[in-house]
């Protein structure tokens, strides 16, 4: 029988997940469990590339872990763990950093954005962030990496790093492919629909958090920026409406044409309310399951401890092999 392919992905515990994180990434992770060997990780090491309050980081990490479970990741089917519990990732990252060029890292748009946003703390970790991300993926020889479109450039870099290592030391790493969904790969801000929806947006009306209650979700959609026409249809330049149609389509299964005819002759007010209700109702099971899981600290601890054990088992074997290939003296 053919071996199942390996999937790896991660999410930063930099706050509560947004609707963008959910539709672009996390919502797709659960269904993949049936077909692949899935490994998912809360990437707390990546989170400290921007300043974090330690108590909040710890809380956000545990909440993110529980939220991934609430979004459908089953710890019996997937490996679900916290990145800092697997020191193999930074161990591998060092080796990979020596296969990465300064120029390559300088071209990363996320680095350029984040260093502009935090000019007082352009730290080395922010710069080498994509190398650690490559290590996350290569430590499991993952075949596919389900992410939103904003991570495509990092994925290309991970591929280049894997290829360079393979050329230098002999074929070892699987060169991973990005796995980007056709719809929802880039959900836009509700306030500035030409910008991606992001956890770190300062305007709370710009993003839907998946734990927002129904009233809040509806209120935020009511305030969403659209255009001065009154036609619910997908067209260039109608960024706000295109974004709302994408969201509505994912939650209801209606195609763009169907949505346009459903709302023909109706105003944007009706459409925004319908989107708000569809999203709030669609996220209800996630909110309920999250509320149940966070209560059970002992169970969560058991899950992330076992997750780390499984992750370490795989990544230690691969990291030892890499250390040997590079020429480090074996210590066993
Ligand atoms: P931050 O604003 O703190 O950088 P973020 O909201 O971009 O965070 P990440 O933890 O960096 O979130 O991303 C987790 C996953 O969510 C990644 O796969 C990323 O591609 C995806 N993602 C993030 N924002 C969006 C979005 N607006 N639309 C679709 N996918 C998204
Ligand atoms: N850089 C990603 C988070 C991330 C990741 C990974 C995603 C860290 N390591 C490995 C996929 C695979 C982000 O900011 N969204």
Residue 26 near residue 17 (C-beta atoms within 8 A): yes
Q: Rounded CA gap, 18 and 299, in Å?
A: 25
Nearest CA to ligand 1 atom 18: 147
Q: Determine the pLDDT at residue 201.
A: 84
Does the active-site annotation cover 152? no
pLDDT of 62 higher than 80: yes
Residue 9 has pLDDT above 70, yes or no: yes
The predicted structure's pLDDT at residue 1? 62
Compute the CA torsion angle 261, 266, 267, 272 (nearest 10 deg).
-60
Ligand 2 pocket (Cβ < 6 Å) reads 8-10, 12, 43, 46, 133, 136-137, 145, 147, 151, 154
**272 catalytic, yes or no?**
no
Ligand 1 mean position, distance from CA 21 (Å): 5
Q: What region does 327 belong to: left with phi over 0, alpha with psi -120 to 50, or beta?
A: left
pLDDT of 176 above 80: yes
User: 209-243 pLDDT, tens per residue?
Assistant: 999 999 999 999 999 999 999 899 999 999 999 99
What spacing in Å lies between the alpha carbon of 111 and ligand 2's midpoint? 13
Q: What are the pLDDT digits (tens) for 265-280?
A: 998 999 999 999 999 9
Atom nearest to 189 CA in ligand 1:
27
pLDDT at position 48 over 70: yes
Q: How much is the pLDDT for 233?
A: 92
Sign of CA dihedral 257, 261, 265, 270: negative
Does 288 have pLDDT greater than 90?
yes
pLDDT of residue 14: 85
Mean pLDDT of the chain: 96
Distance 10 CA to ligand 2 centre (A): 5
């Amino acid at each position: 029988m053919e071996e199942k392919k390996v999937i790896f992905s991660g999410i930063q515990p930099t706050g509560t997940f947004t609707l963008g994180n959910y539709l672009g990434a996390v919502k797709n992770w659960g269904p993949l469990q049936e077909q692949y060997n899935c490994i998912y990780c809360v990437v707390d090491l990546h989170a400290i590339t921007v300043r974090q309050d330690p108590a909040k980081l710890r809380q956000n990490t545990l909440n993110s872990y529980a939220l991934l479970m609430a979004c459908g990741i089953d710890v019996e089917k997937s490996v679900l763990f916290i990145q800092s519990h697997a020191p193999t990732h930074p161990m591998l990252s060092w080796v990979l950093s020596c296969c990465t060029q300064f120029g390559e890292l300088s071209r990363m748009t996320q680095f350029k954005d984040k260093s502009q946003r935090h000019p007082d703390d352009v730290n080395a970790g922010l710069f080498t962030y994509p190398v650690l991300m490559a290590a996350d993926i290569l430590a499991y020889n993952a075949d596919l990496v389900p992410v939103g479109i904003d991570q495509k450039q990092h994925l290309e870099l991970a591929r280049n790093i894997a290829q360079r290592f393979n050329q230098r030391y002999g074929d070892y790493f699987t060169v991973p492919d990005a796995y980007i969904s056709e719809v929802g790969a880039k959900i836009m801000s509700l306030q500035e629909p030409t910008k991606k929806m992001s956890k770190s947006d300062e305007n709370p009306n710009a993003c839907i958090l998946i734990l927002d209650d129904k009233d809040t979700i509806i209120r935020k959609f009511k305030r969403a920026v659209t255009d001065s026409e009154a036609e619910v249809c997908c067209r260039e330049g109608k960024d706000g409406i295109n974004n709302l149609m994408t969201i509505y389509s994912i939650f209801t299964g209606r195609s763009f044409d169907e949505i346009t005819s459903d709302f023909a002759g109706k105003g944007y007010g009706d459409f925004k309310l319908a989107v708000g209700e569809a999203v709030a109702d669609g996220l209800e099971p996630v909110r309920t399951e999250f509320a149940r899981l966070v209560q059970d600290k002992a169970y969560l601890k058991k899950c992330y401890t076992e997750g780390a054990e499984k992750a370490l088992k795989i990544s230690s074997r691969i990291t030892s092999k890499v250390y040997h290939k590079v020429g480090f003296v074996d210590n066993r």
